Amino acid sequence: MTHDKMYESLIKTLRGKTVAIIYIFEKEDAPGFEHYWVWKSDIISGWLNAVQELECVPFILDVRTFIQKACNHSLPHIDYVLNLNCGCYLLSTLSLVPSMCSFLNIPCVPCNAISITAGENKNISNLIARAMDLKIPRSLDIINNDGIYRPLNLGSSIGLKKGSFSEFKTSGVYQEFIPGYDVTIPISYNPYIGDIDLLPPILYLPKSLNPDWIYDAEEKIKDNSFTLLPFIEVEEAVRESMIALSKVFPIQTFGRIDARIRCNEKKLSAKIVERPLPIKDLYFIEINSMPTIEQNDSFDFAFDAAQKNEKHSFNGCIKEYKKIITNPTINGFLLSCSMISLSTTKY
């Protein structure tokens, strides 16, 4: 059987499955449920459309109701859980949904509790990356005023700041600032190879071309101060190290690795993506096992870039998906890859 026929057959097996979408109710006020970020309706609706795109049955619940129904045995049959509980101050709360899924033996997209606690805690993720011989920005002490601070467990670039460590009251990492480029490396299960694979890495090129530019929460809100550019190729050492890193956490479905590319020039240049992404100037920043997925984000851009690159390992898979599915989206593609991965892997 060819890859295309096998893949079409796998997509067909997903039809009719019940996918529970578990989100955090914005006004939830239970102890331990304090959130600094809640995904809005545009994110939730994107995943709802993805469930329908695959001809699956959606079952939508907030976290509290899901846990209560699980405890009193009133949940209907669920084939997969799609966990949209994000932005918790406490990692124990952030891990609540996948922990319950593990107890109920229900595959959870995108990750399990281990991935969350290991990936979201920057101290742990930095230790793991360093143990795997990836370059990490060196840690700085409080008398240094030139570093960059990242809160320990917060995502969405919230709290990211350059300056003196003494200014910051919450726990976090204070590291050497790497002048250069921000790059994000989307990863996903690839049904054609039956393993985790890299989508095209995406470079954030600031319009200022300033090597001191950082992609902080303020820049994310502006959303117009940078250009997204895909790397056509990556060095094999980058591919191997990123895939190996993702498996340690472990990511079985999709995720994202954020890094910094050192630049010693006075101005950044778009020409950097014309060469393979290099390992020697690449510095690990963080791994995200629950990345935001929506239209026109880095995943969507990588999805489009892989489709246009005949040589890319995801090219055939994405083209075939677009033949099988009417009005395909990045959410639907990632959900299908995740469900296939979790159905062929012992959960």
- The mean pLDDT value for 46-66 works out to 96
Check pLDDT > 70 for residue 344.
no
To the nearest 10 degrees (0 to 180), the angle between helices 315-324 and 330-344 is 110
Evaluate if residue 215 carries a pLDDT over 80.
no
Does residue 261 sit within a domain? yes
Q: Is residue 342 part of a domain?
A: no
Produce one character per residue of 30-60: b if its CB has 16 or more CB atoms within 10 Å, e if not. eeebebebbbeeebbebbbebbebbebbebb
Confidence of residue 28 (pLDDT cuts 50, 70, 90): confident
Instruction: Give the residue from 87, 113, 139 where a domain finishes.
Output: 113
Specify whether 11 is located in the same domain as 56: yes
- Give yes or no: residues 106 and 139 share one domain: no
| pLDDT score, position 166 | 60
Same domain, 173 and 263: yes
Mean pLDDT is highest, among 26-40, 68-82, 83-97, 210-224, for 68-82
Q: How confident is the model at residue 346 (pLDDT cuts 50, 70, 90)?
A: very low
Residue where a domain stops, chosen among 113, 132, 163: 113
Task: Categorize the per-residue pLDDT at 100 as very low, low, confident or very high, splitting at 50, 70 and 90.
Answer: very high
pLDDT at 347: 35
Please check whether residue 336 lies inside any domain of the structure. no
In this structure, are 81 and 151 located in the same domain?
no
pLDDT of residue 188: 98
| Average of per-residue pLDDT across 71-82 | 97
Q: How far apart are CA 286 and CA 75, in angstroms?
A: 35
* Strand ranges (E), 244-307: 254-262, 282-288
Check whether residue 146 and residue 63 sit in a common domain.
Answer: no
Contacts 24+ apart (CB under 8 A), 275-280: 275/233, 276/231, 276/232, 276/233, 276/234, 276/235, 276/238, 277/183, 277/201, 277/231, 277/233, 277/234, 277/235, 277/238, 278/235, 278/238, 279/235, 279/237, 279/238, 279/241
Query: What is the model's pLDDT at position 164?
Result: 64
Q: Which of 78, 113, 148 is the last residue of a domain?
A: 113
Mean pLDDT, all residues of the chain:
90
Structural domain contains residue 150: yes
- Specify if 240 maps to a domain: yes
* Co-location of 154 and 285 in the same domain: yes
Residue 335, in any domain of the structure: no
- Do 170 and 310 belong to one domain? yes
Q: Report residue 285 CA to chain centroid gap.
A: 13
Q: Each residue of 160-188: pLDDT tens digit?
A: 777 665 655 567 888 899 999 999 999 99
Domain limits for position 77: 3-113
pLDDT at 219: 64
Read off the tokens for 225.
């101060």
Residue type, 288: N
* Cβ within 8 Å of residue 128, ≥6 positions away: 118, 245, 248, 249
- 108-109 sheet: strands from edge to edge: 57-62, 18-23, 80-84, 108-109
Q: Could you tell me if residue 221 is inside a domain?
A: yes
CATH number for the domain harbouring residue 260: 3.30.470.20
CB 262 within 8 A of CB 211: no
Tell whether 13 and 143 lie within a shared domain: no
Lowest-pLDDT choice from 10-24, 89-103, 204-218, 228-242 = 204-218
Whether 241 has a pLDDT exceeding 90, the answer reads yes
- Check which CATH number belongs to the domain holding 22 and give it: 3.40.50
pLDDT computed for residue 345 by the predictor: 53
Crossing angle between the packed helical segments 96-104 and 113-120, to the nearest 10 degrees: 160
Shared domain for 159 and 214, answered yes or no, is: yes
- pTM, whole model, 2 decimals? 0.93
Residue 209 covered by a domain? yes
60 and 189 belong to one structural domain? no
Q: Which two tokens stand for residue 126?
A: 């930095």
Overall number of domains in the chain: 2
Please tell me whether residues 170 and 99 are part of one structural domain: no
Mean pLDDT on 219-244: 88
User: The tokens 């049904």 sit on which residue?
Assistant: 191
Q: In angstroms, what CA-CA distances link 311 with 60, 71, 92, 200, 344?
A: 39, 49, 42, 11, 26
Are 204 and 252 contained in the same domain? yes
Where is average pLDDT lowest: 138-142, 157-161, 268-272? 157-161
**Residues 284-325 pLDDT 10s:** 999 999 999 988 899 999 999 999 999 999 999 999 999 999
Q: What is the rounded average pLDDT of the residues 1-10?
A: 85
